[in-house]
Structure 1
Amino acid sequence: MSSRKMVTAAPAQNAQIHPIELARPLMSLAESVSNSIAPLYSFHIALAQAYGEKSQQVQLFSKSKKIVGVEWESWLSFLRECIGYARSYIALCQSVQTGNPMHHESLTHAIISHLQKICSEIERLRNSYAVAVEQFASLAQTYNPRSRSTTTHGRSKTRRGPPRTNLPVILQAFAATMKTLRTSLTHLGDLSAFWADHSSRLSKMSATTDSLKALAQSGRLPSELATWTKFHETLRQASSNITSYCDAATVTPIIPSGKLGKATMNVRFSMDCNATPLDGSERSKIQEAGYYEVLTASSPYDMSDLIKLTMEIHKGVESPR
């Protein structure tokens, strides 16, 4: 009997249900999506200039990019579930403060059921996204830096990889893209840890009516309410940010061709590989198209700049002069 009293008394000493921070991994996840947009954009341009806009490499890239985009969209659905849960949890805390025990006990059971769904969903998202990232990583197999000779019906056929100056740009863009995509996996893991920990603590806390009373009497409910009110707002902000990043990811770059395309690749090669600097004539060509400033920016790309860039390239390349 005494041991049972010790079990029910424990929550009074540890009535906190949110020891792991939610805001940090949540906003880090949104930031990792933002940081993926520019490398994806840059990678698309590098592939198109090396292999051609209708090449197999670009088609496979576009397909893999869409798969990643679908994963990001599924995160938005998950965040909407989390926002709904946060509202319900805030209502539970208020009920424990002011409502009758029967009411908040039934509310707790409904919330725990919702929480179990969230924990299951975040694990599914982690696994699904990991598969999408590995599929994207397999794109590396489609790059052919060396020429290879094959024989078909007695005839020799040479398959060529991208020009020497293109390959370092492609590899660097690929590496940058993979780094940002894999970073999101880490943040998904952190979010999973938060929800698993919260679920465990809430389940123990709500095991008996005495435990809920202990939470109410501990004086921690105002802090709990404040924390989850903040979490709710952070969830909304992260959802809004990721929505805008998903929209930005749909922007398809206009690939400069001819002299402008050559100048653009030289900028990238010069910037990424310490090759011969861009000469004045090439610099002026891409400055006219609004391309140089974004390509050579020392800070990460801003998506508003990228969207503006697409329109500027269109004006600079397509409009008659």
Structure 2
Amino acid sequence: MTQSRSSGVLIIDKPAGMTSHDVVARLRRCLPDIKVGHGGTLDPMATGVLPVLLHRATRLAQFLLHADKEYGGIIRFGWATDTHDREGEPLTAPRPVDFKRNDLDGWIGRFVGDIVQLPPAYSAVKWRGRPLYRYARSGQTAPRPERTVRVEALDVLVWNPPDLQFRLVCSGGTYVRSIAHELGEMAGCGAHLHTLCRRRLGPFSLAHAAALADLLAAPNQLADRVLPPESLVQHLPPWPCSSDTADRIRNGVEIALPENDPHPDGIRFRLMDARGALVAVGRVRTLEEGRKVLRPEIVLA
């Protein structure tokens, strides 16, 4: 795959047992001359949607950081672990799971809406420049900054004690492991995240995803699976550009807007050329003298 065709995003169905970095490293061997990065880390035990950004599309990674996500998985009650998932060490011996389904529904309801979360000690959240998991692995305790996240839906699909099969729709930055752990505390018997699959990240779902093994087995077909860069910013309104305007934007030149332009200061657009390809992401800015410009912020082509 040549650089001229490479900019875009590959949606990988990440297998269990690999880090997100492992996936990127494998793909880099097939694409040695192309910049490769991922958008949205998955824990090693998790499976599902992992967007891998290629070449100039890596400049658009910020648009995946806070995109909403959908997960499916199993929370197992009976004991908690130090990592809040099945890969951690149990904190207690197994306890009986004897609460009522009505109680479970009430606890679930507390997690819907804006909630304040405490990240797990074993997480990539940083304190003083180091991820928390490094402190935890060395037996040190580090402050864990609370964060506000939003849960749009937390649905019980199947309750078959001790296992709760669930569906979760949430904002970026939500720790599913923390929800599992806190549910266990409410139940009084402990719980941990047993399985997790990310079914969707922003506009990308499992329907877009390819198995990593299939891609690695046929690297000459990678280009056929690459989605265009504009798929990362479909939520931004389009701004059609003439050939002359597109050339100026590629050179980083801001575009003067008419005096009666109705767009508010700060609004972002995806700037599209005459062929429908993404040239840049730009933002309307009002200058000190009152006139408005369309300023390219992230130039792709």
TM-score by length of 1: 0.25
Relative contact order (alpha carbons < 8 A, sep ≥ 6): 1 or 2 greater?
1
Structure possessing the higher radius of gyration over alpha carbons: 1
- The answer to which structure has the higher helix fraction is 1
